[in-house]
Amino acid sequence: MTVEDMKLDGNAIGGLLIEIFGTDLTGSMGICSSCGAQGPVAGLDVYIHAPGIVARCRNCEAVMLKIVRSETRTWLDLSGTRTIETAVEGP
C-alpha cells in the first residue's frame, strides 16, 4: 500500500470538523498559508493514517490542518491555514 492509496479528501473529516467547530466546514473556503491557494475544505488531501489526522493543500502539499485526539483531548493545529471562510446561517 502506497501513501497515495491512503489519501482521502476533506469529506473524510467532515464529521470530525462538525464535532470540533459545531458546523459543517467541508464546503467552506480555506486559504493555504504556504502558497495562497484557495479551495473548499472538501478538496484537501487528507491522511488519516498519519500520526493524527493531516490535511494537505492540493496545490503545494503543505500541511494546512492537523488534528490529534486522545480519549479526553483534541489538539488542533491550523498554522498552515491562512483563513477559513464559512457562510453564516440565516435566521
Which positions touch Zn ion (CB under 5 A)? 32, 34-35, 37, 57, 59-60, 62
3-state secondary structure of 25: coil
Both ends of the chain: CA-CA distance in Å? 48
Q: Please identify, using beta-carbon distances, which residue of 18 and 35 lies nearer to Zn ion.
A: 35
Q: Please identify, using beta-carbon distances, which residue of 12 and 37 lies nearer to Zn ion.
A: 37
User: Minimal distance in Å, beta carbon 62 to Zn ion?
Assistant: 5
CA dihedral 6, 59, 82, 9 (to 10 degrees): -30
Q: Please identify, using beta-carbon distances, which residue of 1 and 3 lies nearer to Zn ion.
A: 3
